[in-house]
Amino acid sequence: MKNIALVISDFNSEITSKMENNAEKTASSLNAKIVKKIHVPGAFEIPFAAKKLFKDKKIDAVVVLGAVIQGETDHDIIIMNSVSQKLMELSLHHNKPIGFGIMGPRVTWQQAGSRALEYSKRAVKTALEMVKINI
């Protein structure tokens, strides 16, 4: 059994709470155990929490969940570029896979709602597939 951890953004919690529940179901169905969960205020804070989890030797992979919704400015693009780059750096530095389940940029509320379950499922599956490569 592989041990994974979740980092969940509470911003847009109507969407991310569904993602969290679905990630738990997916992990269970794939015989993986969620050993830690950290909730953070928004997507920008995800790398800080992920860094803590990557350092934990009993965690095989980290799955991150969030929804960065398009607004009237380029804020969603800036956030997603920053967060995705930092998460990739952390994953490579700690030699542990990450399941990237953060929607955005340029996603609408309606799109995020309809894609939430698929994103969370894919993030967990990808993390577990990458654990196999990391042997």
Residue-wise burial string across 54-87, b where 16 or more C-beta atoms lie within 10 A, e elsewhere: beeeebbbbbbbbbbbbeeeeebeebbeebbebb
Helices and strands counted in the chain (H then E)? 4, 4
Residue 75 annotated among the catalytic residues of the structure: yes
| Catalytic entry in 39, 75, 93, 94 | 75
A 10 A CB-CB count for 35 gives 15
Residues with active-site annotation: 75
